[in-house]
Amino acid sequence: MSNQKPPYSELESYMKEAEKLIHVLRTQQVDAIVGESHVMLVRLKQAEENLKNSRNQLRALATYLLSVRENERTVIARELHDEFGQALTSLQLGLSWMSRKLTPGQRPLQEKIKSLSATTTSLIRSVKNIASELRPGVLDELGLVKTLKSEARGFQGRTGMQCRFKTNIAKAKFDRSAAVAIFRIVQAALTNIARHANASRALITMMKRKSTLILTVMDNGKGVTKRLVYSHDSLGITGMRERTLALGGTFTLGGSKSKGTMLTVRIPLSRVIVGKPSSSPSATLSSPDSR
């Protein structure tokens, strides 16, 4: 047998050295890169730490801004309801009083009052809708589950798309700010479906699995591209992600033309539920609109 080394043995040794170098670079065990005339310090860990800190600061700011926005929405909704709502109601009462006082001979005036009364009724409805959009009263009064159920029903009514809601924690008591966050996520997801998905069905589920709350919103539409999911212009998606991260959760959004879009939010149960959560198949609640 010949002792002569194969012609590529030198190349193999270079490759081994290169692999070692790549390993230390990848595992961040490097402090400096030595050049012919200078040394460049590589402070990867420090840079990573700085990046992490600035991300956390941005997240804290986003959380603060979201809470400010939510408080302002509450105030505006209350003002709208109390001030405009009351004024419009008394206007309508006045119109119907006037209508009763008119004689049958004053027909043109009666027609005018009827028309004004219809406009006032429409205005009252609009104010209610705007106030409800800003801050659904049902969320504070009846809780998250019933609000989501009502949202699914409203979405179906507005868009004509079949929309179902399912949960296995119908009786749980939710933390107030977490409930608002979850509601806003669902609201934003449904808005996206209505605007972009070109779907005919939507399904919202909120399930307890061990110590995690899993919220999903899916549709059978045209799906979503990765570029759109991570685009800075997708403010709705960014808002949903920030709300999720503020609750210590994870956010995933994906889909394809054949499967539609699926949004999944996982949040630690301890951040969402006040007291001990209970779940059982009998507690499963499904929107009555579902067929």
Partner 1 sequence: MKARKRQRGKSANPGGDSYVFRLFVAGNESNSSQARGNLARICEKHIKGRYKIDAVDVLKDAAAAHKNNVLVTPTLILVRPLPRVMLLGNLNDTRRVLAALRLIGDKG
Q: Which of residues 135-174 bind partner 1 (CB under 8 A)?
A: none
Q: By CB under 8 A, what part of segment 22-51 binds partner 1?
A: 23-25, 27-39, 41-43, 45
Stretch that binds partner 1, among 7-15, 21-29, 96-104, 213-221 (CB under 8 A): 21-29
Nearer residue to partner 1 within complex by CB, 38 or 257: 38
Q: Cβ of residue 254: shortest distance to partner 1, in angstroms?
A: 37
CA dihedral for 167, 170, 175, 176, sign (positive or negative): positive
- Per the listing, tokens 């509450």 go with 74
CB of 44 to partner 1, least distance (A): 10
- 5 scored as a contact of partner 1 (CB under 8 A): no
Work out whether 107 is an interface residue with partner 1 (CB under 8 A).
no
Closer residue to partner 1 in complex, CB, 35/108: 35
Nearer to partner 1, 17 or 140 (CB): 17
CB of 53 to partner 1, least distance (A): 17
Cβ closer to partner 1: 38 or 276?
Answer: 38
- Number of residues that this document lists for the chain: 291
CB of 43 to partner 1, least distance (A): 8
Q: Residues 6 or more apart from 135 whose CB is under 8 A from it?
A: 70, 73, 74, 76, 77, 78
Chain contacts with partner 1 (rule: CB under 8 A): 17, 20-21, 23-25, 27-39, 41-43, 45
